[in-house]
Amino acid sequence: MALQDKYAELLQAAANMGVANFSTAEQNGVLHVSGTANSTADYDALWAMYNKIDPNMASGDLMMNIEIKADIGARLKVTTETSNLNIRSTPSTEGEIVGKAAHLEIVTLLEKTDDSWWKIRTADGEEGFAYAQYLSPEA
């Protein structure tokens, strides 16, 4: 089975979501997929779909480099289910909690540390690292 066929559902979902700068290329038995998702929800959905097609990413035949759309200085919405989002001193769950951002609060992006942790500032001026999964571009 060709890799484009194996991952057709994921590729179609990315196209339907409007992933920006979406590209695919097959090289040495690995399908490389890249682009920029419009929200953390879209990003998470693509990774969940990947895990459904290839549980635990065991086959090693897909390299997915999907970023989340957000520019430094962008206003982001806290998209936790209902609780506050912890703001930490370092980009890790081991970091001390130095503040909290409320559910649906708007914060400012200061730095994209990596795909998982972003440095933010609340309206009250609290700064620190928050888990990017719970941050989405302000609609």
The full set of domains in the chain, from first to last, is 3-68 (3.30.460.10), 75-137 (2.30.30.40)
The pLDDT tens digits of the residues spanning 18-75 come to 998 999 999 999 999 999 888 777 888 898 999 999 988 888 899 998 887 777 888 9
Classify residue 35 as left (phi > 0), alpha (psi -120 to 50) or beta. left
Query: What is the per-residue pLDDT for 85?
Result: 96
- What SS3 state is found at 17? helix
Query: What is the per-residue pLDDT for 92?
Result: 92
Could you tell me the sign of the dihedral formed by the alpha carbons of 53, 54, 59, 61, in that order?
Answer: positive
Share of the chain above pLDDT 90, in %: 65
Query: What is the per-residue pLDDT for 1?
Result: 66
> What global pTM score does this model have?
0.60
